[in-house]
C-alpha cells in the first residue's frame, strides 16, 4: 500500500457527504473550531437548518472533537432521536471532519505536506462514507507495514487510553505479542516518559500521538524532531495515519458501542494481510 494511494483515499473521504450539505458545513466548521484547526473544504456556505437539529449535532460534534469520552447517554440519545436512521452516517462524517484536519496538521508539522488535499474537491454524494471509511480506508492503513509491530501496537493502545475505548483497551495484537509485546511493556504506556521498557523511538511516537489527539494546532518542533530522528518520512506518514485509523474508535465510543468482547482480561486479535481484524488469533 503506497503513500500516494492513501493520500488519494484521504481526498476521497474529504469529498463525501452525510446526505445534507448544510449539515456537512455545520459539522466541519464546528469540529474546526473545537480543534483550533482550519476546517475541511465545504460545498456550500453555512445555512440555517432546523434549529433543534443543528444545535444537537453541533453540540455532539464539538464534544466528539474535544474529548469523545465526555459524550454521555443523554447526548447520544438526543442525536439518534434527532437524526434517526442517518445518525451513524452523520457520526462517521463527524469523525472525518474531526480527524483529517489533524492528519494534515501533523503532516505539515513534519514537513510532509498536506497529503490528500486538493485545490478543487470533486464532491461525491453517492459513496457511502461508512463503507469508504471503515471498509476502505481503515483496512488500507492497516496494510501498511513500514513500522514494527510493537510500535504500532503501543501507538494503538495509547489512542485507546486517550479516547477511553473499552474494546480497544481489551485487545492485544498477536503479531506484536510474538515480536516482544507484553503486559509488562504495555503497562508502561500510561506514564511513558518515565518508562524503562519503551524505546526512545516509541516514546517519540507517543508524544506525537498525544499531540495529534490533544493539541493538533500546536505540535511543537521538539515533537516533530523526535519523529524525524527515529522514523523515515514514509514511516512518519504511516504513524500519522495509524493515529487516525485507531481514532476511528471515537465513533463507537461516542455511540456507547465500545463494550469489550471479554468479561475480564484481554483478547488476542490479528491484523491479517488484507488489513482486516481477525479475533481470537
- Which tens digit of pLDDT belongs to each residue from 92-149? 999 999 999 999 999 999 999 999 999 999 999 999 999 999 999 999 999 999 999 9
Angle between helices 87-109 and 73-83 (to 10 degrees): 110
Taking phi over 0 as left and psi of -120 to 50 as alpha, with beta for the rest, 228 belongs to alpha
Position 1 scores a pLDDT of: 55
- C-alpha distance from residue 270 to each of 51, 138, 180 (Å): 45, 14, 15
- Which tens digit of pLDDT belongs to each residue from 23-38? 999 999 999 999 999 9
CA distance 110 to 78: 39
Domains identified in the chain, total number = 2
Identify whether residues 151 and 273 lie together within a single domain. Answer: yes
Identify whether residues 204 and 119 lie together within a single domain. Answer: no
Confidence of residue 2 (pLDDT cuts 50, 70, 90): confident
- In percent, the amount of the chain with pLDDT more than 70 equals 99
Identify whether residues 53 and 128 lie together within a single domain. Answer: yes
Domain finish residue from 78, 107, 140 = 140
Identify whether residues 205 and 274 lie together within a single domain. Answer: yes
CA distance 130 to 120: 23
Identify whether residues 156 and 109 lie together within a single domain. Answer: no
Q: 101 is written with which cell numbers?
A: 484536519
Longest Cα separation, the chain: 54
Q: Strand order in 171-173's β-sheet?
A: 171-173, 267-271, 277-279
User: Other C-beta atoms within 10 Å of 250: how many?
Assistant: 26
- In percent, the amount of the chain with pLDDT more than 90 equals 96
Identify whether residues 78 and 114 lie together within a single domain. Answer: yes
- Phi (first) and psi of residue 171, to 5 degrees: -100, 150
Contact call for residues 89 and 19 (beta carbons, < 8 A): yes
Contact call for residues 165 and 253 (beta carbons, < 8 A): yes
**270 pLDDT higher than 90:** yes
Domain finish residue from 91, 116, 140 = 140
What is the extent of the structural domain holding 77? 3-140
- Which tens digit of pLDDT belongs to each residue from 198-252? 999 999 999 999 999 999 999 999 999 999 999 999 999 999 999 999 999 999 9
Position 149 scores a pLDDT of: 97
Residue 280: Cβ-neighbour burial (10 angstroms; 0-12, 13-18, 19+): exposed
Identify whether residues 221 and 117 lie together within a single domain. Answer: no
Domain finish residue from 140, 164, 195 = 140
Identify whether residues 224 and 131 lie together within a single domain. Answer: no
Please report, for the domain that includes residue 173, its CATH number. Answer: 1.20.1290.10
Identify whether residues 133 and 182 lie together within a single domain. Answer: no
Identify whether residues 179 and 114 lie together within a single domain. Answer: no
Identify whether residues 134 and 11 lie together within a single domain. Answer: yes
Residue 271, classed as helix, strand or coil, is strand
CA distance 5 to 192: 33
Identify whether residues 130 and 257 lie together within a single domain. Answer: no
Amino acid at each position: 500500500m503506497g503513500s500516494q494511494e492513501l493520500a488519494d483515499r484521504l481526498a476521497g473521504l474529504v469529498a463525501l457527504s452525510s446526505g445534507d450539505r448544510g449539515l456537512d458545513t455545520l459539522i466541519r466548521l464546528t469540529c474546526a473550531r473545537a480543534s483550533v484547526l482550519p476546517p475541511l473544504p465545504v460545498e456550500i456556505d453555512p445555512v440555517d437548518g432546523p434549529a433543534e437539529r443543528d444545535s444537537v449535532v453541533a453540540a455532539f460534534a464539538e464534544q466528539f472533537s474535544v474529548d469523545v469520552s465526555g459524550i454521555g447517554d443523554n447526548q447520544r440519545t438526543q442525536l439518534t432521536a434527532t437524526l434517526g436512521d442517518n445518525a451513524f452516517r452523520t457520526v462517521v462524517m463527524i469523525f472525518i471532519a474531526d480527524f483529517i484536519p489533524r492528519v494534515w496538521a501533523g503532516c505539515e508539522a513534519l514537513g510532509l505536506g498536506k497529503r490528500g488535499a486538493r485545490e478543487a474537491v470533486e464532491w461525491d454524494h453517492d459513496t457511502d462514507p461508512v463503507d469508504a471509511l471503515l471498509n476502505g480506508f481503515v483496512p488500507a492503513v492497516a496494510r501498511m507495514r513500514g513500522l514494527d509491530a510493537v510500535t504500532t501496537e503501543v501507538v494503538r493502545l495509547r489512542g485507546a487510553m486517550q479516547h477511553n475505548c473499552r474494546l480497544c483497551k481489551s485487545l492485544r495484537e498477536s503479531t506484536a505479542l510474538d515480536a516482544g509485546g507484553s503486559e509488562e511493556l504495555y503497562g508502561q504506556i500510561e506514564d511513558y516518559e518515565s518508562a524503562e521498557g519503551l524505546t526512545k523511538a516509541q516514546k517519540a511516537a507517543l508524544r506525537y500521538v498525544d499531540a495529534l489527539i490533544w493539541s493538533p494546532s500546536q505540535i511543537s518542533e521538539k515533537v516533530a524532531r523526535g519523529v524525524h530522528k527515529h522514523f523515515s518520512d514514509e514511516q512518519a506518514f504511516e504513524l500519522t495515519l495509524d493515529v487516525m485509523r485507531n481514532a476511528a474508535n471515537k465513533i463507537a465510543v461516542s455511540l456507547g458501542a465500545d463494550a469489550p468482547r471479554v468479561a475480564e482480561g484481554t483478547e488476542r486479535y490479528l491484523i491479517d494481510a488484507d488489513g482486516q481484524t481477525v479475533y481470537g488469533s
